Amino acid sequence: MDYKRVLTIQDISCVGQCSLTVALPIISACGVETGIIPSAILSTHTAGFTGFTFRDLTADIPEIEKHWIKENIKFDAVYTGYLGSTEQIGYVKSIMDTTGKEDALNIVDPAMADNGKLYPLFNDEYVSAMKTLCAKADIVIPNITEACFLTDTEYKEKYDESYVKSLCDKLHALGAATVVMTGVGYKADKTGVVVSENGNAEYYEHKKISKGCHGTGDVYASAFCGALMRGKSKFDAARIAADYVVKCIENTQGDESHWYGVKFETAIPDLIDMLK
């Protein structure tokens, strides 16, 4: 097996099962070396916890890049998640250029919105900056809301295949070679993922669990990245990541004390089996 090295850039929520605290173990479990750049450190994530600590690490990012350039450290893929500012987006674009191997993949999860709204603290300026990052991406992994913000499209809760195709086409026009759009459902009890590239689109449908969990987008993107680096096709990686997330949510259902995240660790053996 070809041994790959991935760099993931996103924040660390020390408790909460999201961002780097899921990306590092999931990609590593796929048998892929995982380098990290933490964009910030929080004591917990911001959804449901109060009084959390926050330390911005923006100033460290260019210094890390300088050291890596000096040491000639290179990566087979650069995968980005939640980024805290437009300044960080600028640094990430530079890192993609300086630390990616000649055939490296740039994988962007534009983690900034859901349910028709931007996350707190993000604004139109951030959306504009994220568009420039997605333009550099080989693969973008947005949900429906993020796709709408990136393409200046009206958000709809009910939609058809032509609406999703239009979103994909606009993302391709932005510069993304491959679009992996999550949370696409045409039936009340179903959801799924669309993989669009080279003028073709494939759809993988799976059951929808009504009670979701925080951090599943990060779990999905990390599992997709890990499976892709293990040699799976983009569609198979998208399918594996979807099935893994469903299993993680199922393993979390019924535990009211576990409201802050998803029990992704309990399903890692399933993920490994899916990769075989």
Q: In percent, how much of the chain has pLDDT > 70?
A: 100
Strand pairing category for 33-44 and 100-108: unpaired
pLDDT at 211 over 80: no
Smallest Cα–Cα separation from 128: which of 144, 117, 112?
112
- C-beta atoms surrounding 173 within 10 Å: 10
Mean pLDDT, range 159-184, rounded to an integer: 97
pLDDT tens for each residue of 75-122 = 999 999 999 899 999 999 999 999 999 999 999 999 999 999 999 889
> 161 pLDDT band (50/70/90 cuts)?
very high
pLDDT at 210 over 80: no
pLDDT tens for each residue of 187-206 = 988 999 999 999 999 999 99
What pLDDT was estimated at residue 217? 94
Residue 39's domain spans which residues?
Answer: 5-275
- C-beta atoms surrounding 53 within 10 Å: 9
Split into its structural domains, the chain has a count of 1
Query: What CATH number does the domain containing 241 carry?
Result: 3.40.1190.20
pLDDT tens for each residue of 230-260 = 999 999 999 999 999 999 999 999 999 999 9
Of 15-24, 75-84, 180-189, 209-218, the one with minimum mean pLDDT is 209-218
What pTM was estimated for this model as a whole?
A: 0.96
Per-residue tokens: 248:
């993680």
Q: In percent, how much of the chain has pLDDT > 90?
A: 92
